[in-house]
C-alpha cells in the first residue's frame, strides 16, 4: 500500500491504491475481475456475470428501503496504457507508481488509470458502507471500454434489473453529463511497393516526440499537436524539393489517444541528405512556432542509420505522404446547439507497416449521426484517391440528452444541497457507455458525473484530490435521496 490509502475518504482510496497494483489494460481485465469478485464475495454479496466478462455486485437495500427503485452504478475496469519514452514500465507486470503533485495525484511517467479507476473504487467502497440509507443497488463493472466499448456493446440486459443508471466515468466536477457523442473507427490499408535502393543512397531516421497527446475526445479541442500529421507534413514538404523514399514509418498506438510520437526512416541520395535534413528542420520549426501555446514540448531528432537494401518505391512513398497529409484530424465542426461543445471530430491515431501495406487508423466522433456518416465518407474519399482500402466498424451510438429526466432532477437538487452550488448540465464529445446501455435497454434513465480528472489517456493524467471526497459525498447523498 502507498500514501494513496491515507487520502480522504480512505474507504475509497484504499481500493484505488490496490487497483494501482493490478494490470488492467484493455483486454487484460482478468485481474480486475478477480479483485471485484473477491471484494463482493468477501462481504457476502451476490456477484454475477455475463458471457462477455461484465460483472455485477448486488447490494441489498438498507432496512426500510426495500421498496425503493433499483439503482445501477456503472464504471469500466480497463485503462489506457501510455507511458513516456524514457519511462521503464511494463504494464502487464509493474504496479502504477503514484506521485502527489500539489493538489493532484498523477503517476510516474505513465497514465494513472483514474479513468475509470476512481469510479470503480467508489463502487467498491459502497460495499463497505454500513450506515448509508439506500435502495437496492447493482454495481455494474464493464470490460474493454477504452478499446471498443466491448463490454457495454455486448452485455446481457438480464444482468441488471434497475432502470436508473449512474455512470461514474465523467471527469469534471460540477457538471452533470446527460449526453455524449457517438463514434466509429476507420482503418485504411495502403499497398506498398518495395524496390531495391540505388548505390550512393543514404538513410536518415527522424523521430518526432515531446507532445502532450491526450484523450481523442475530451482533449481534441485543445489543438495539441498530432505527431503523425506533423511528420507527414514535414516529409511531404521535403519530398517536393528532393525525391525521397520511406523505409519505415510507425507512430501512435490507440485510437482514443492523440499520437505523441512517430518515427520514420527515409532514403535519399547520400549527397542530398544534408539538404533534406535542413528542409525538415525548417518545417518542424515552423510547426513548433504554430502550436507553441497549445503544445510547447514538440521536439525531434535526426540520426544517420545504415542504408537498407530496399525501401518503398517513390510512387508508394508519395502516395503515403499525400494520404497522411490529406486525411482530416482534429475538430471538424463545433456544436450549433450547445456553446463550446465539439460536434464532430476525428483523430488520425496510428500508422504502421503491416506486411506489404501501410495501416492507418482514425477515430471519428460526432453527436450528429449524419455528420458522422459524412466524416467517414470524407475519409473514404481521401483513401480512394490514394488507392487505399477502408474497413469500417459498426461503431457505437451517441446518447441523446433527456432534460426531463427524473434522475437529473434529483441530482440537480442534491448537488446544490451537498456542494452548495447548482451544477452545469451538458454533453461531452467523448463516448460514454450510456449510449450503448440505453440502446440495449430502451427507457433507461441515465446520468454521468465524476471528480476532476485532467489529461486522461496520456502520462500527464492527473486527478484533483480534493474533488474526490466531494464526488463520493454527492454519490452517497444521491443514493439516499433516490431511496425516498
Verify whether residue 193 is a known catalytic residue: no
> Cα–Cα distances in Å, from 398 out to 90, 367, 421, 439?
34, 6, 29, 9
C-alpha cell at 104: 493532484
Is 340 one of the catalytic residues?
no
Determine which one of 17, 78, 253, 261 is catalytic.
78
Cell 491504491 locates to: 17
Distance CA 482, CA 470 (A): 18
Angle of helix 467-482 relative to helix 10-19, nearest 10 degrees?
A: 110
Report the distance separating Cα 130 and Cα 349, nearest Å. Answer: 46
- Supply the DSSP symbol for 130: S
Residue 185 burial class via C-beta count within 10 angstroms: exposed 0-12, middle 13-18, buried 19 and up: buried
Q: Which three cell numbers stand for residue 463?
A: 486527478
Burial (CB count within 10 angstroms: exposed 0-12, middle 13-18, buried 19+), residue 443: exposed
Quote the DSSP letter at residue 243.
-
Per annotation, catalytic residue among 145, 171, 172, 185:
145
- Report how far residue 169's alpha carbon sits from residue 166's, in angstroms, rounded to the nearest whole number: 9
Q: Catalytic residue numbers?
A: 78, 145
Amino acid at each position: 500500500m502507498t500514501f494513496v490509502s491515507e487520502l480522504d475518504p480512505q474507504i475509497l482510496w484504499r481500493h484505488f491504491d490496490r487497483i494501482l497494483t493490478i494490470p488492467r489494460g484493455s483486454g487484460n481485465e482478468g485481474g480486475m475481475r478477480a479483485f471485484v469478485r473477491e471484494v463482493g464475495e468477501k462481504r457476502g454479496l451476490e456477484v454475477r456475470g455475463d458471457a462477455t466478462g461484465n460483472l455485477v455486485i448486488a447490494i441489498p437495500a438498507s432496512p426500510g428501503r426495500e421498496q425503493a427503485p433499483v439503482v445501477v452504478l456503472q464504471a469500466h475496469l480497463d485503462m489506457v496504457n501510455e507511458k513516456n519514452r524514457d519511462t521503464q514500465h511494463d504494464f502487464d507486470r509493474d504496479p502504477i507508481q503514484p506521485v502527489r503533485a500539489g493538489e493532484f495525484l498523477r503517476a510516474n511517467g505513465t497514465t494513472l488509470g483514474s479513468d475509470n479507476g476512481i469510479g470503480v473504487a467508489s463502487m467498491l467502497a459502497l460495499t463497505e458502507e454500513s450506515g448509508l440509507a439506500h435502495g437496492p443497488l447493482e454495481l455494474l463493472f464493464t470490460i474493454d471500454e477504452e478499446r471498443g466499448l466491448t463490454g457495454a456493446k455486448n452485455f446481457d440486459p438480464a444482468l441488471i434489473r434497475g432502470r436508473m443508471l449512474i455512470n461514474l466515468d465523467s471527469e469534471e466536477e460540477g457538471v452533470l453529463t446527460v449526453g455524449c457523442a457517438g463514434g466509429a473507427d476507420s482503418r485504411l490499408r495502403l499497398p506498398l511497393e518495395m524496390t531495391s535502393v540505388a548505390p550512393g543512397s543514404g538513410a536518415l531516421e527522424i523521430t518526432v516526440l515531446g507532445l502532450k497527446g491526450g484523450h481523442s475526445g475530451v482533449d481534441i479541442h485543445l489543438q495539441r499537436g498530432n505527431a503523425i500529421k506533423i511528420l507527414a507534413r514535414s516529409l511531404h514538404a521535403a519530398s517536393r524539393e528532393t525525391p525521397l523514399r520511406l523505409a519505415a514509418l510507425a507512430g501512435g498506438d490507440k485510437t482514443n489517444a492523440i499520437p505523441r510520437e512517430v518515427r520514420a526512416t527515409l532514403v535519399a541520395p547520400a549527397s542530398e541528405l544534408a539538404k533534406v535534413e535542413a528542409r525538415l528542420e525548417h518545417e518542424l520549426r515552423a510547426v513548433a512556432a504554430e502550436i507553441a501555446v497549445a503544445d510547447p514540448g514538440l521536439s525531434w531528432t535526426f540520426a544517420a542509420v545504415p542504408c537498407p537494401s530496399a525501401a518503398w518505391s517513390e510512387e508508394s512513398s508519395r502516395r503515403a505522404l499525400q494520404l497522411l497529409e490529406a486525411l482530416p484530424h482534429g475538430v471538424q465542426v463545433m456544436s450549433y446547439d450547445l456553446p463550446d461543445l465539439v460536434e464532430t471530430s476525428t483523430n488520425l491515431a496510428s500508422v504502421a507497416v503491416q506486411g506489404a501495406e501501410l495501416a492507418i487508423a482514425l477515430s471519428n466522433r460526432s453527436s450528429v449521426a449524419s455528420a458522422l456518416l459524412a466524416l467517414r465518407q470524407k475519409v473514404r474519399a481521401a483513401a480512394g484517391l490514394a488507392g487505399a482500402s477502408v474497413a469500417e466498424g459498426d461503431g457505437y451510438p451517441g446518447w441523446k440528452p433527456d432534460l426531463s429526466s427524473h434522475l437529473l432532477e434529483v441530482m440537480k437538487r442534491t448537488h446544490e444541497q451537498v456542494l452548495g452550488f447548482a451544477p452545469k448540465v451538458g454533453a461531452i464529445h467523448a463516448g460514454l457507455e450510456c449510449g450503448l446501455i440505453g440502446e440495449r435497454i430502451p427507457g433507461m434513465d441515465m446520468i454521468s458525473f465524476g471528480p476532476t480528472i485532467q489529461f486522461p489517456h496520456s502520462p500527464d493524467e492527473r486527478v484533483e484530490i480534493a474533488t474526490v471526497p466531494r464526488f463520493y459525498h454527492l454519490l452517497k447523498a444521491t443514493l439516499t435521496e433516490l431511496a425516498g
